[in-house]
Amino acid sequence: MDKIWLSSPHMGGGEQKYVQEAFDTNWVAPLGPNVNGFEKDLESYIGENSNVACLVSGTSAIHLALILSGVSYNDNVICQSMTFSASANPIKYQGANPIFIDSEKDTWNMCPIALEEAIKKEMSKGKKPKAIIVVHLYGMPAKMDEISAISKRYEIPLIEDAAEALGSTYKGKKCGTFGDFGILSFNGNKIITTSGGGALVCKNDEDKQKTIFLATQARDNAPHYQHSHIGYNYRMSNITAGIGRGQMEVLDKHISYRRVNNQFYQELFKNIKGITVFKESTENYFSNHWLSAIIVDETITNFSREDLRLSLLDDNIESRPLWKPMHLQPVFKDYAYYGTNVSENLFKKGLCLPSGSNLTEEDKERIKTSINKLMKK
Ligand SMILES: *Cc1c(COP(=O)(O)O)cnc(C)c1O
């Protein structure tokens, strides 16, 4: 039987037309009509007068957001601990130091209480953090009212890692538009993909132009090659942007499929004691449910998250533990951490289940059968 993946690319059908156009007009370069078109599509989709610069990856978008926030050598940057390493790595690219913050239980994202405690403590040591990186894990918006208020109160720039949350909203406003900068990812497993790619969402055109300048080798305005800044080769190609334009045509449809997947899991686990499906805690939150995840309480189920993962794997079904918190990663073990053990417990008990927008009814039937088999043991 074919493998059922956690989340695989799902083409809508319109993508190749834009890619063909790029070939037909010879715009095979890191600029061109598809790049401009994809940026316009994203700007109108997320709204809020956003200004979007398309880049080679979400990681490069975080890197440039840190640079534009003024982060440099030996600065401190606050970052949600429970996330993919790409949220934190660019802090080190800048020679700065991450300070990790625990999650809270409602959204699994940055705990506002631990965040403020960290800022106060670090300021009392004489060093105000230079930026805050908050993440919307699995598409679930973080507690943005509280976190935005803290960012404003202490005048620390807020970078919103919305790599997993394109289309999610908090109080009706799209994720990626709350912070001073928002970042998006179009990697192969994300809600839409360009095969690889990302974007930086800016508040104004000035920041967007600075992003494009830095992403295209920081070339000064001169006939020869003249440079007053260190630049990067981070601009998105016109070919991949063509895939992005096609994907935008099906984005909302794909979000609705992912939300249907989440409903499927709610239904499947409704009567199974000890397993809870992650969902919105109140109506303020609208998750794109990029990945559906569950918490397995072994003391009730008599099997662990790992037993379930291996049992699914036996039936050629992929599932994966939740993100391992950064403060528990060998590479980041020496950096500061504020919080208790919320993210650590989520990591111990949590599992992401197949969630692609291309999951078929037969796939769901196989998942159901496989899980029921374990229940009967
Ligand atoms: C995927 C992801 C990124 C990185 O995006 P890339 O486009 O793969 O570089 C950053 N943060 C989070 C939370 C992600 O899931």
The answer to whether the CB of 75 is under 6 A from ligand 1 is no
**For a pocket test of ligand 1, which of 135, 160, 187, 193 has the largest count of ligand atoms closer than 8 A to its C-beta?**
187
Q: Whose Cα sits closest to atom 11 in ligand 1?
A: 87
**For a pocket test of ligand 1, which of 56, 59, 60, 81 has the largest count of ligand atoms closer than 8 A to its C-beta?**
59
Rg (CA), the chain: 21
Distance 189 CA to ligand 1 centre (A): 10
The answer to whether the CB of 94 is under 6 A from ligand 1 is no
The answer to whether the CB of 207 is under 6 A from ligand 1 is no
CA dist 36 and 112 (Å) reads: 37
The answer to whether the CB of 19 is under 6 A from ligand 1 is no
The b-or-e profile of 19-42 (16+ CB within 10 A means b, else e) is bebbeeeebeebbbbbbebbbebb
Q: Minimal CA–CA distance to 356: which of 270, 272, 254? A: 254
Task: Tell me how far CA of residue 162 lies from CA of 31, 35, 201, in angstroms.
Answer: 24, 20, 10
Residues counted in the chain: 377
Q: Of ligand 1's atoms, which has the minimum distance to the CA of residue 197?
A: 7
Distance 59 CA to ligand 1 centre (A): 6
Provide the 3-class DSSP secondary structure of residue 162: coil
Q: Minimal CA–CA distance to 257: which of 375, 355, 128? A: 355
Distance 302 CA to ligand 1 centre (A): 34
Pairing of strands 292-296, 350-353: antiparallel
CB 297 within 8 A of CB 350: no
Give me the residue label for tokens 């935005």.
148
- 294, containing H or E segment: strand 292-296
pLDDT for res 376? 82
For the record, the structure tokens of 90 come out as 């660019």
HSE value, Cβ hemisphere, 13 Å, CA-based, for 15: 18
Q: Minimal CA–CA distance to 355: which of 314, 324, 320, 323? A: 320
The answer to whether the CB of 109 is under 6 A from ligand 1 is no
The answer to whether the CB of 185 is under 6 A from ligand 1 is yes
Hey, what's the torsion of the CAs at 234, 240, 245, 247, to 10 degrees?
Answer: -110
Q: Of ligand 1's atoms, which has the minimum distance to the CA of residue 61?
A: 9
Distance 84 CA to ligand 1 centre (A): 7
Distance 130 CA to ligand 1 centre (A): 21
The answer to whether the CB of 86 is under 6 A from ligand 1 is yes
Q: Minimal CA–CA distance to 42: which of 33, 31, 34, 50? A: 50
Q: Of ligand 1's atoms, which has the minimum distance to the CA of residue 86?
A: 10
Distance 152 CA to ligand 1 centre (A): 25
Distance 80 CA to ligand 1 centre (A): 13
The answer to whether the CB of 59 is under 6 A from ligand 1 is yes
Q: Of ligand 1's atoms, which has the minimum distance to the CA of residue 164?
A: 15
The answer to whether the CB of 240 is under 6 A from ligand 1 is no
Distance 300 CA to ligand 1 centre (A): 34
Say whether pTM exceeds 0.95.
yes
CA dist 323 and 84 (Å) reads: 6
Distance 169 CA to ligand 1 centre (A): 18
- DSSP 8-class letter at 50: -
pLDDT < 50 positions in the chain: none
The answer to whether the CB of 84 is under 6 A from ligand 1 is yes
CA dist 140 and 152 (Å) reads: 22
Q: Minimal CA–CA distance to 216: which of 229, 228, 205, 231? A: 231
Distance 165 CA to ligand 1 centre (A): 10
CB 201 within 8 A of CB 183: yes
Q: Whose Cα sits closest to atom 2 in ligand 1?
A: 163
